[in-house]
Chains A and B, each alone.
Chain A
Amino acid sequence: MLRYASMRVLGAIPTLLLVIVIAFIMVRAAPGGPFDAERVLPPEIERNIAHAYHLDEPLPRQLLRYISGLLDGDLGPSYRYRDYTVSELIGSALPLSFRLGLIAMSLALVLGVGTGLVAALRKNTVLDRLLTGIAMLGISVPIFVIAPLLVLGFAVYLNWLPAGWSSSSGISRYLLPVFALALPQIAFIARITRGEMIGVMASDFVRTGRAQGLGTWSIVRYHALKPALLPLLSYMGPAMVGILTGSVVVEQIFGIPGLGQLFVRAALNRDYTVVLGSVILYAVLIILFNLLVDILYGLLDPRIRRR
């Protein structure tokens, strides 16, 4: 399996390279530069700055300079935050986004799978419709509506939880953002679980089990759960990457200095190096998680294992 993994990683390197080149071209194609402002700089100063940041070199040369920097492990200086490097900026946002993402996804898994299972076992009843409807809340109302409502309710009016991330240092500041992050995931996970569970419960081997006299709970626990949840794995790969790299909506509303904010600000500020660094991080995560999902499938799915 190690061989399989290393082959995959090696095979991913050209993909990564292509991603970098495409991202480089796209971000430079956007009109405007990092040092534009309403107060136009006098030409000499503009020249000085362009020179200091190598923006006066031809594009291919800049690209090569960037890639050779990468090989040294150097993601470059930020064009906007002139005291900090890209590694430092990403390095300060990453642990926070990862922490929030992991907690949110764990919550979403528990609530989503739970809801989906119950809804599937009580399929087509009022309970099913109700649970499904509530679970869908996360993808029926945009988060930029739900999150401010949460802040208004819990922070401004009730004063139970902090409105902003930097206002306190304890656990309480995690509660609302984690919940807001988890909501859309609960919806997707609940729906997938429900759908798969219904399919599994209608399948032959389950009917055989029932004919043999097994109760619903034993059927679910020993026979139905695994085949129902396994397909969730292929959803989880990209979903994990998405939640780990942060949500710009949640981060803006709660003032969380995460990866989502970093990235969108960088794109709007034309902070080329931060944008590229974020894209690389995202691509690496996608490749890694896809690999992880495939390995897990190989380990967990008996049909694949037998091959």
Chain B
Amino acid sequence: MRTIRLLPASNKTRPGWQQSLLLCALLALAACSGPVQDRTVLNRTLGVEPESLDYHKARTKQAGDVQRDIGEGLTGYSATGELLAAAAESWQLSDDGLRYTFNLRKDARWSNGDVVTAEHFVYSFRRLVDPRTAAFYAQTIIDIENASEIIAGDLPPEELAVTASGEFELTVRLRQPVPYFLALLSHPSTFPVHPSAAEAPGDDYARPGRLISNGAYQLDAWQLGSVIELRRNEFYHANDDTGIDRVRHHITTEAHAELNRYRAGEVDLTSGIPQDALLQMRAERPDEVHVAPYLGVYFYGFNLKREPFKSNLKLRQALSMAIDREDITEKVTGRGETPAYSWVPPGVDRYEPRLFPYAAMSREERHAAARQLYREAGFGEDNPLQLELRYNTSQSHSRVAVAIEDMWREVLGVETSLINEEFRVLLANIKAQEITQVFLSSWLGDYNDAHTFLHLLQTDSPSNLFGYSNDDFDSLMLRSAAQTDPQRRQLYLEEAERVLLDDHPVLPIYFRVSKHLVSPRIEGWGDNVLDYHYSQHLSFSEPD
């Protein structure tokens, strides 16, 4: 394939005279432009602007990325994704699995020098569940005794079963054993909030100059819509290990603009790579492209409250089997995603996903079986299925939808209309469950455990927008929650997934990947399945 190149392919070599001209121009411009890139400043792109840096008022991943730099919870993650002790040095769990006692570090300090004590955690957890805070992620700690009553307003926040049994000792009582509880405590919503928040008028505690945090960095400046600047927290207990003095999180709303900034050398680290540029980046800068599995599943949901999907299992199976997932991941998205033949992504701790029975079939076999099921479901050439596929506005979603529409048409003869809706319109329609049939959805894991994916489909889950309800599945999930033995728990979870997959309430397409461009100057980068990249683990290598 011959491509027509109008512009130079790379900026690696330049002939002499152009170089001097460039130098003159650069010098002239350097006189009027800002400082040359500082070695102790990390410029990284963030994506969309966080709603807030107050841990209780935000929920986007972007907010989490900045919050993980300025705050620290009881536990945290290493660069490669291992759960570590953080603000807590050690902990003990009672035999019944219901009581945690955390021993906090005595050398942990806030950014103003105050000592971090257990009382601070008590205050923060109460604030998290307090209805007046209206925190998005209050349900992170829903399993702490009394938490759900407090959220509902039936009990005051003081009744939360989190107490300071010593200056540096924190006791937490759960209403049922939660095997992944320690992982939950690395989530920013559980980070401690400095009590000065209570005195802040209105809602401006989380602003530069006021925000006191306990992490490796502190908030220095926030130029709205542009860049969030952090500087080193000198009082942080592991400050000596922090390699970079200042971090600038640049707010970027357009993926190609973000990419161009990296290519121009203005940022060292990107939050993503646009789909259609991946091939080019892999060719130009293979060592800088980092693509890694990520705890997220890209899928289509069925509206099980309406026909044609309400009672037609075979139809759902046929549609799932007609999709060539390998083609989608290799040719349409092309980022190295894994085709999804299960619901829980691979790489989850203590878990082996179940697979669809047709995962191992050849393409022809699968297509033939799909056609058979389609006919048995009551459709055919003379009675083709007419389907509406909804997804939200985005080029990458369009491409997948167009490819899948094509596959359904070729293999089964289904007539699909593609309905591209603005994001919130789509959400509203999905929630209403009245007009939707098949719709795009996505789910990201909050913690590294199969539960974060499986619980979505329980009947009582608020995010179960598909109308799926299976008593067997629910009871298996409940029983897994009651297990203290991890191996038995794993068996229950896996069995639950098998029930789920047999029912085909959703149509998983692929498992997501995280993609970043990382400058060769950066050391300490680790790909991990949660896509957490704390700035404190990074440093710049010495120049050659």
Contact = CB atoms under 8 A, between A and B. Distances in A.
Chain A in direct contact with chain B (Cβ < 8 angstroms): yes
B51 interface: yes
Contacts of A140: none
B59 A257 contact: no
A30 to B, nearest CB: 8
B357 interface: no
Contacts of B396: none
B256 interface: yes
Given A40-B465, A82-B52, A159-B265, A257 B260 contact: no
Contact of B424 (A31, A43, A165): A31
Contacts of B59: 37, 39
B4 interface: no
Interface in A58-89: 77, 80-84, 88-89
Contacts of B152: 44
B51 A81 contact: yes
Given A41-B136, A45-B138, A83-B203, A162 B427 contact: no
B360 interface: no
B134 A166 contact: no
Interface stretch (B24-32, B172-180, B343-351, B474-482): B24-32
Contact of B34 (A77, A81, A170, A253): A170
Contacts of B202: 77
A52 interface: yes
Contacts of B248: 166
Interface in B262-289: 263-267
A300 B423 CA distance: 50
Which of B33, B204, B250, B463 has the most chain A CB atoms closer than 10 A to its own CB? B33
B260 A83 contact: no
A178 interface: no
A239 to B, nearest CB: 24
Contacts of A40: 431, 462-463, 465
B7 A152 contact: yes
Given A83-B54, A83-B203, A160-B26, A167 B223 contact: no
Contacts of B132: 48, 52
B260 A156 contact: yes
Interface in A248-268: 252-258, 261-262, 265, 268
Q: By CB atoms of chain B within 10 A, which of A38, A40, A166, A265 has the most?
A: A166
Contact of A42 (B151, B204, B422, B442): B151
A172 B29 contact: yes
Nearest to B29: A172
A32 B33 contact: no
B165 interface: no
A12 B206 CA distance: 39
B541 interface: no
Interface string B132-158: 111110110000000010011100000
A45 B257 contact: no
A92 B208 CA distance: 15
Looking at B134, B135, B138, B265, the one whose CB has the most chain A CB atoms below 10 A away is: B134
B226 A166 contact: yes
Nearest to A78: B51
A49 to B, nearest CB: 4
A223 interface: no
Contacts of A256: 226
Nearest to B262: A163
B441 interface: yes
B225 interface: yes
A81 to B, nearest CB: 6
Interface residues of B, number: 72
Interface class of chain B by DSSP: loop
Contacts of A45: 134-136, 138-139, 151
A42 to B, nearest CB: 5
Interface in B30-70: 32-35, 43, 49, 51-54, 57-59
A36 B257 contact: no
Contact of B32 (A41, A157, A171, A262): A171
B70 to A, nearest CB: 14
A272 to B, nearest CB: 12
Given A31-B424, A40-B465, A261 B136 contact: no
B51 A163 contact: no
Nearest to A80: B51
B52 A252 contact: no
A159 B26 contact: yes
A42 B424 CA distance: 18
Most B CB within 10 A of own CB, among A42, A155, A172, A265? A42
Contacts of A52: 132, 134
Contacts of A168: 33-34, 266
Given A167-B267, A253-B257, 4 more contacts: A36-B431, A52-B132, A168-B33, A169-B35
Interface of B: 7-8, 11, 22, 25-26, 29, 32-35, 43, 49, 51-54, 57-59, 131-136, 138-139, 148, 151-153, 202-207, 223-227, 248, 250-254, 256-257, 260-261, 263-267, 422-425, 427-429, 431, 441-443, 462-463, 465
27 contacts: A30-B424, A33-B424, A38-B443, A40-B465, A42-B139, A44-B148, A44-B151, A45-B134, A52-B134, A81-B51, A82-B54, A82-B57, A148-B256, A151-B257, A159-B22, A159-B26, A159-B265, A160-B22, A164-B252, A166-B250, A166-B251, A167-B43, A170-B32, A172-B29, A254-B257, A257-B223, A268-B424
